[in-house]
Structures are given as structure tokens and as C-alpha cells.
Structure 1
Amino acid sequence: MENGNALNRYARLAGMAWLVVILTGITAEFFLRMPLIVAGDAAATASNILGAEGAFRLSIVADIIMLLFDVTAAVALYLLFRPVNQLLALLATAFRLVMGAVLAANLTALTSLLSVLHGTDSAAPSIVQQLLDAHASGYAIGLVFFGLHCFILGALILKSRYLPRLLGIMLMIASLGYLIDSFAHLLLPQGSALLAMMAQTLIALALLAEVSLSLWLLVKGVRA
């Protein structure tokens, strides 16, 4: 059985790493990449990316940093919750590592996009759109595994009593947001207003749950 000091070291490492994951992920997607993408206009998107190529490349680097810290968080969380239930802790870790592998491979869509833009193919804008769509689909697939990770982690929090039960409940509910959003993207490519609203609400809760959990782990640690 791990002693309290060791558990709190794992908790603070997990909290720090997860907080970096949140900050770099938001920066990459919402501050660097999303402003360059014009929905339904591949030519304008291609022009924006070429006009701010440094920001687009920086978004890829931010994603890589996010994934490095995500692996760190996954291992620290495994060590933290291993005394509670080793099998569930291992399963949660495996789902999170698979998510990281999927997202890492998915970044090749963005690097390929840059290669297309620097080529001479007159069909570049349409290819750019296809690569952006492929990246979005890859992200949706990766978040299925992350949603399952969050659900199991929430269950471990409830079982452990290391942390406030509310954090575990929030994380389990929030995991549904990732699963609904991902499967809606994959099964309903035309979209559904009701599902989109439901998924956005749950993903907002997911972000709140993740930030709350990471800050609690970093600042307060666990009740060992």
C-alpha cells in the first residue's frame, strides 16, 4: 500500500500535468487553429493558414506538448489509483494512452495539409478541407477513448474517497459529453441541433470537471 506522501506526490504530478494538457489543448485549438478556419470555405481557410503559417505550426507544437503531458498525467493517475483498484486504474490508463496515440497519429493530417499548401496542385483548397475533416474525425475517435477514461476515473474517485465525491460524479457525467459528441460526429455527419446542444453542455461540464480535478490534485492533493 502506498503511503500518504507518495500518493500526494502522484496527485500533484497528475494535477500539474493535466492542467498543462488543458491549457495547451485550448491554446492549440481555440486560439491558434480555429481562427484560421472558415467553415464551408476551403479557399479562404487555405489563404488564412498560409498567411499565418507560424501560428498554424505552433498549434501543432502545442498539441505535441499537450500529448507529452497527457502521458505523464496518465501514468501519475495510474500510480495514484492503483491501490484503489488496480484493474480499473490500468484500464483507465490504457484508454487514455490509446487516445494519445490516436491524436498523435492524427497530427499527420495537419502536417500533410501544409505540404499540400506548399505544392502546386490547383485542387489544394479542396484537399485542405478533406484533411481538416480527417483531423476532426480523428479527434472524435480519440475522444471516445478519453470519454471512457473519464468515466472509469470518476468511478475510481467515488470508490477511493481520496477526493470529494462531487468531482467523481461530475467526471462521470462529463464523460457522456465526449461520447455523445464523438459518436454524433461519426454517425450523423450532417449534425443534429439537439445532440449538438446536449454535447456542448456536457463538454462545458467536462471542462469544469477537468479543471476542478486538476486544481484540486495540484493544490490540495488527496485524503490518503
Structure 2
Amino acid sequence: MMKNDKNTARWAGFFYLLNVIFSVLYMEYIPSQIMVSGDAEGTLTKLLSNETLFRIGILVGIAGHLSFILLPLTLYKLLNQVNKRIAILMVALALISVPVSFSFILDQINFLDLLKDYDLGLITRDNLATSARSLYRSLMNGFFLNQVYWGLWLFPFGLLAFKSGFLPRFLGISLMLGCITYMVDIGGAILIKDYYDHVSTDLLIIPAAIGEIGMCLWLLIFGTKQNIRF
């Protein structure tokens, strides 16, 4: 049984690593190469000069969302022995985000149709630029919305890790703290008009980053270890 747990843990670590890589590319790197904040024409110019990257980004997004389906399901197989109800909650909170995430992909695929119309002269450059700006504004807002679920699933995951006895407790604590800071960030951004002028999101995500990257590497390298005391 212990060997099976180690194998399951390493598969979970593998899916976690894929998700981290795909997420960084899809949500950070690729948009940074295309989006020009507040500049519709600038965004369109960069998009047209990086159209292949834009198309690759769609595939990367699909792969990332698929890896995020496999991750909680594999973690459930590993952690349901700790507490089945909490494990079910963990999976539910994670998977709720997937249909929302795929709706962003649909918006990007629809934009490909607009590019075809532009090549055929069916829409003007100004209209295409406005659509490009709207696409990325919607994409960023969608990422923000999904932080609700990307944050909430970390609490049951962290609690299960803390209670498991075969995963590091400090990583479980980091995951639970990450959930709290995600919720603080979301609530603050909605309630306070100039929130980001006073609060650094980079600092708030530190607990979640430590918990998620640490857990990813632990699962991938060590799998499980019995009677962990830290």
C-alpha cells in the first residue's frame, strides 16, 4: 500500500508540475508578450506580430486546464484515506473552476475568427483593436474571478496534508494560509477602489506559492514519507 501511495503521490506531483508550468506560460508570460495595458492599438499590433504565440497560448491553456483536472483527482486518490468528505470538498472546489477556465479559451478561439474576418477585410482595424483589448480585459478579469476557487481548494488540500502524517505539515499550513490570503486579495480588490496602489499581490501570494511549489516538488521527489513531524 505504501508503494502505491508513493506512486500516486509522484503522479500528483507530475500533474502539479505541468499545471505550474502551463499556468505561468498561459497567464503570465504569453499575455506579457502581447497585452499593452490601456492601449488597444498597441495590443493589436503586438498580437498580430506574435500571432503564432497567441495560437500556442490557446493550446497551452487547454493543456493547463486538463492538468488541473487530473491533479485534484489524483490527490483525492492519495488523500481520501485521511478524510473522505474533506477530500471530496477539495476536488469539488478545484473542478468548479475548470468550466469557467474553458470559457476563456472559447473567447480566444472566437477571436481567431475575427482575425480571419480582418484578413478578408470584413472588419476594420479599429474594431479588431477594440476586440483585442476587450479580449484581454475579459481574460484578466476571468483569471481574477477564478482566484476564488484556486484559493478555496487550497484550504481542504492543506488541511488534508496537515492531518495526513505522510506529507509535511508546514506545507499544509502554507496552503491554508494561501487560501486566506487569496480571499483577502479578492475581497480587497472588490471593496477598495485603489487597493492595488497600497497592497502588493506579490507579497500576498507568498504563502500559496510556498505551499503549492513546495508540495509539487515534495510529491514529485519524495512521494510520501510516514510519520513526518514537520
By the TM > 0.5 criterion, same fold?
yes
What is the distance in 2 between the residues matched to 1:158 and 1:136? 33
Q: Partners in 2 of 1:59 and 1:29 — Cα distance?
A: 9
Instruction: State the match for 2:96 in structure 1.
Output: 98
Match of 1:166 among 136, 145, 170: 170
- What is the Cα deviation at residue 139 of structure 1? 1.5
> Which residue identity lines up with residue 180 of structure 1 in the other structure?
V
Q: Distance in 2 between matches of 1:109 and 1:188?
A: 29
User: Structure 1 residues 41-50 or 22-31, which shifts more?
Assistant: 22-31
The answer as to whether partners of 1:177 and 1:200 remain within 8 angstroms in 2 is no
Give the aligned partner of residue 71 of structure 1.
69
Cross-structure match for 1:181: 185
1:71–1:97 contact (8 Å) kept in structure 2: yes
- Structure with the greater alpha carbon radius of gyration: 2
The 1:185–1:206 alpha-carbon spacing in structure 2 relative to 1, beyond 3 Å, is: same
Distance 1:185 1:111, change over 3 A: farther
Counterpart residue identity of residue 87, structure 1: R
TM-score, structure 2 as length reference: 0.88
User: What TM-score do the two structures reach when normalised by structure 1?
Assistant: 0.90
The alpha-carbon distance between structure 1 residues 134 and 145, as it changes in their structure 2 partners (threshold 3 A), is: same
**Where do 1:180-219 residues align within 5 Å?**
180-187=184-191, 191-195=195-199, 197=200, 199-219=201-221
Structure 1, 202-211 or 161-170: larger mean CA deviation: 202-211
**3-state DSSP of counterpart to 1:123:** helix
* Equivalent-residue separation in structure 1 for 2:142 and 2:186 (angstroms): 10
Identity across aligned pairs (percent)?
27
Unpaired runs of at least 5, structure 1: none
Amino acid at match of 2:223: G
CA distance in 2 between counterparts of 1:189 and 1:48 reads 30
* CA RMSD between the two structures: 1.9
One-letter amino acid matched to 2:224: V
1:28 correspondence with 2:30: no
Q: Distance in 1 between matches of 2:108 and 2:195?
A: 23
Which residue is 1:130 aligned to? 134
Code of the residue aligned with 2:215 in structure 1: it is: L
Task: Report the secondary structure of 2:198's partner residue.
Answer: helix
Unaligned runs of 5+ in 2: 118-122
Distance across 2 between alignment mates of 1:102 and 1:178: 18
Per-residue Cα deviation, 1:84-122 (whole angstroms, up to 9, x for no partner): 110110010011111122111222222233333443143
What residue identity is the alignment partner of 2:9?
A
Equivalent residue number for residue 2 of structure 2: 4
